[in-house]
């Protein structure tokens, strides 16, 4: 079966062809070529399937390998690879499947990104390029001159498959998207050499990205009343997990800047601010019980999954948080778990399986096995006959909403831990 598209994406006025059609290959020619190599590709795919399973089984056990094998196609099925003739390079877009159909939502790329960091870091880098181009006011070249004038990163590009969004029509998540973008840039750089060559493509965007880092500095230690990616739960002002994202993102961005000549002073500033804000966070977020950190600074006896500390470990940063923070959190989660997982926070019985597996990746071997086991049993016993959901109840094997979303690439979190 093949899918024939004349154009895959309309990017601010220009129709971009699917990657396979970049050299004006016709549909018939594409099918003939595909048939010629079909047997060889099938053999390669079958070998890869087994190799992937074996590697993941060795890393996380049989149940983990079952889960990561299950979400491979779901994750890759959410992206579209196109040819951009304006800049003569490949771009990749992601669809926010099920939840609302947005194009390249940054806080959908972010939970999915462990998959791409592990399997295809260059693909993730090429997902960031259309967003950077839009935010850097380069759309006039494509036909629509839309001036992005916000001091934080965009949420998305439009409604699939059309990119045409005005900045004031964004679903504004300033700390969320700015932190996500900086963290993903850092993660790609680490996988691609962690040197000047790995970040050379950022040269046109340095001023823009420093603006986002400056926004984060100006908004910490308390992001106040901002939306975060878990907006389906409603408002969560003074959100400690959101603040942690911004703090880790500053340290990550400082590490990136250290690779770029002339950015040493900016790197030192952002790193010092990250450490300053982490000290504030430890005081503001600690619950009076002393055994965990709160969901919101001003609400005692609350909790939430602190998945935003994840990239401190992936990037092997020197802080800004001590390892004892996540160790205490994971110990507390043991007291909150239900049959099919640990709730996302104290407000409801449900969880997010992507974030759960990020947290599991930062936990002890026994804690990782426990969360993986609960996730596997939910997938095996669920009565919700839909493509693998990421938004699930923890006390019954049913889904709350969302299905077939590429965010399940987050289950690969264990694979990118050092």
Confidence grade of residue 231 (pLDDT, cut at 50, 70, 90)? confident
Whether 407 maps to a domain, the answer reads yes
Average pLDDT over residues 253-271: 98
Whether 324 maps to a domain, the answer reads yes
Q: Which residues contact 63 (CB under 8 A, 6 or more apart)?
A: 372, 373, 375, 376
Whether 239 maps to a domain, the answer reads yes
Q: In what order do the strands lie in the sheet with 9-11?
A: 89-94, 79-84, 14-18, 9-11, 162-163, 158-159
Is residue 1's pLDDT more than 70? Answer: no
Is residue 5's pLDDT more than 90? Answer: no
In CATH, what number is assigned to the domain containing residue 64? Answer: 1.50.10.10
Whether 38 maps to a domain, the answer reads no
Read off the tokens for 277: 């804000």
Is residue 242's pLDDT more than 90? Answer: yes
**DSSP strand E in 137-210: where?**
158-159, 162-163
Q: Which residues contact 337 (CB under 8 A, 6 or more apart)?
A: 370, 371, 374, 394
The pTM is what? 0.97
Read off the tokens for 192: 């691609």
Average pLDDT over residues 320-329: 98
Whether 35 maps to a domain, the answer reads no
Whether 71 maps to a domain, the answer reads yes
Task: Give me the domain span that covers residue 235.
Answer: 9-26+48-416
Residue 2: predicted pLDDT: 59
Is residue 299's pLDDT more than 80? Answer: yes
Q: Which residue has the tokens 């500390």?
A: 309
Whole-angstrom CA distances from 351 to 274, 287, 346, 348 are 29, 21, 10, 8
Whole-angstrom CA distances from 123 to 80, 203, 311 are 10, 19, 19
Which backbone phi and psi does 162 adopt, to 5 degrees? -110, 125
**Total count of domains within the chain:** 1
**DSSP strand E in 154-302: where?**
158-159, 162-163
Q: What is the pLDDT of residues 99-115, one digit of tens each?
A: 889 999 999 999 999 99
β-partners of residue 90 are: 83
Q: What is the pLDDT of residues 178-217, one digit of tens each?
A: 999 999 999 999 999 999 999 999 999 999 999 999 999 9
Contact at 8 Å (CB) between 213 and 270? yes
Task: Go through the chain and tell me how many residues it has.
Answer: 418
Read off the tokens for 391: 């938004």
* Percent of the chain whose predicted confidence (pLDDT) is above 70: 99
Is residue 6's pLDDT more than 90? Answer: no
Whether 32 maps to a domain, the answer reads no
Q: Which helix (H) or strand (E) holds 401?
A: strand 399-401
Whether 157 maps to a domain, the answer reads yes
């Amino acid at each position: 079966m093949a899918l024939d598209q004349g154009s895959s994406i309309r990017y601010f006025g220009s129709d971009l062809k699917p990657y396979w059609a970049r050299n004006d290959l016709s549909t018939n020619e594409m099918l003939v070529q595909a048939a010629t190599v079909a047997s060889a590709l099938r053999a390669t795919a079958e070998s890869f399937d087994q190799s992937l399973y074996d590697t993941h089984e060795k890393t996380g056990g049989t149940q983990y390998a079952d889960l990561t094998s299950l979400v491979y196609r779901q994750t890759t099925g959410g992206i579209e690879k196109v040819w951009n003739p304006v800049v003569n390079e490949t771009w990749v877009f992601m669809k926010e499947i099920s939840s609302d159909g947005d194009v390249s939502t940054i806080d959908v790329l972010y939970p999915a990104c462990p998959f791409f960091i592990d399997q295809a870091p260059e693909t993730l880098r090429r997902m960031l390029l259309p967003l950077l181009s839009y935010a850097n006011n380069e759309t006039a070249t494509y036909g629509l001159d839309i001036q992005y004038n916000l001091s934080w990163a965009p949420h998305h590009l439009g409604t699939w498959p059309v990119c045409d969004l005005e900045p004031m029509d964004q679903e504004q998540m300033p700390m969320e998207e700015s932190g996500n973008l900086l963290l993903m840039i850092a993660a790609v750089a680490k996988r691609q050499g962690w040197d000047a060559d790995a970040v050379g493509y950022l040269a046109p965007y340095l001023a823009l990205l420093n603006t986002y880092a400056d926004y984060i500095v100006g908004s910490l230690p308390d992001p106040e009343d901002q939306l975060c990616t878990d907006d389906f739960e409603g408002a969560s002002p003074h959100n400690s997990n959101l603040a942690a994202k911004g703090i880790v993102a500053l340290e990550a961005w400082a590490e990136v800047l250290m690779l770029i000549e002339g950015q040493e002073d900016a790197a030192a500033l952002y790193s010092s601010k990250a450490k300053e804000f982490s000290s504030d966070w430890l005081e503001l977020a600690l619950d009076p019980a002393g055994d965990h950190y709160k969901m919101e600074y001003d609400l005692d006896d609350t909790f939430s999954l602190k998945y935003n500390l994840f990239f401190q470990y992936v990037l092997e940063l020197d802080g800004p948080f001590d390892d004892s923070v996540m160790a205490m959190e994971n110990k507390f989660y043991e007291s909150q778990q239900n049959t099919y997982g640990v709730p996302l926070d104290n407000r409801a019985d449900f969880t997010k399986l992507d974030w759960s597996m990020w947290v599991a990746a930062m936990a002890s071997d026994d804690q990782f096995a426990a969360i993986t086991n609960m996730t596997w049993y939910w997938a095996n016993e669920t009565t919700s006959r839909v493509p693998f959901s990421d938004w699930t109840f923890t006390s019954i094997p049913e889904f709350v909403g969302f299905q077939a979303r590429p965010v399940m690439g987050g289950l690969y979190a264990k694979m990118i831990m050092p």
